[in-house]
């Protein structure tokens, strides 16, 4: 028997005019995203290993954390974290809600970075578009910082 799966909203956001929009937005993952996985594979292939995922002992639970070097890497989705390069438009419906939601995301990102830096961590934010455009440049940037930290 083939039963249709019922979609249940989580009620964290206003009711959209189109239910499909709500389904798509709710399907976005917080961790283990495609850009994160691509970056981790490239780091591994380059021999940059020994990192932890979503490291709970560091403020903000960095997506990738080289704990021995105190390097936190956040892989930010351009839409949700408001990439300055991509400059996505706000949704046309419930604009005020989304503007406030995105601003809270930006403020939280700044706060996490400041907390990490205050306890001696280095922080790299990698944007989804950077990974799509040239992942090798991103990996080189990480490798250079790891080497710099290691030589201090």
Print the SS3 string covering 30-68.
Answer: CCCCHHHHHHHHHHHHCCCCCCEECCCCCCCCCCEEECC
Whether 92 contacts 102, CB under 8 Å = no
Query: What is the end-to-end Cα distance of the chain in Å, rounded?
Result: 64
Express each pLDDT in 41-94 by its tens digit.
999 999 999 999 999 999 999 999 999 999 999 999 999 999 999 989 988 888
Express each pLDDT in 106-128 by its tens digit.
999 999 999 999 999 999 999 99
Q: Which fold has domain 30-151?
A: Endonuclease; Chain A (3.40.960)
- pTM metric for this prediction: 0.80
Whether 7 contacts 21, CB under 8 Å = no
Kindly state the tokens that stand for 12.
């964290």
């Amino acid at each position: 028997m083939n039963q249709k799966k019922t979609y249940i909203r989580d009620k964290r956001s206003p009711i959209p005019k189109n239910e499909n929009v709500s389904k798509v937005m709710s399907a976005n993952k917080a961790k283990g995203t495609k850009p994160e996985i691509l970056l981790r594979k490239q780091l591994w292939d380059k021999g940059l290993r020994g990192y932890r995922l979503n490291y709970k002992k560091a403020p903000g639970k960095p997506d990738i954390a080289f704990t021995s070097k105190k390097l936190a890497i956040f892989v930010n989705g351009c839409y949700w974290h408001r990439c300055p390069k991509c400059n996505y438009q706000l949704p046309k419906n419930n604009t005020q809600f989304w503007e406030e939601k995105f601003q809270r995301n930006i403020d939280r990102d700044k706060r996490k970075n400041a907390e990490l830096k205050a306890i001696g961590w280095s922080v790299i934010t990698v944007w989804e578009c950077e990974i799509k455009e040239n992942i090798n440049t991103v990996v080189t940037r990480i490798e250079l910082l790891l080497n710099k930290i290691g030589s201090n």
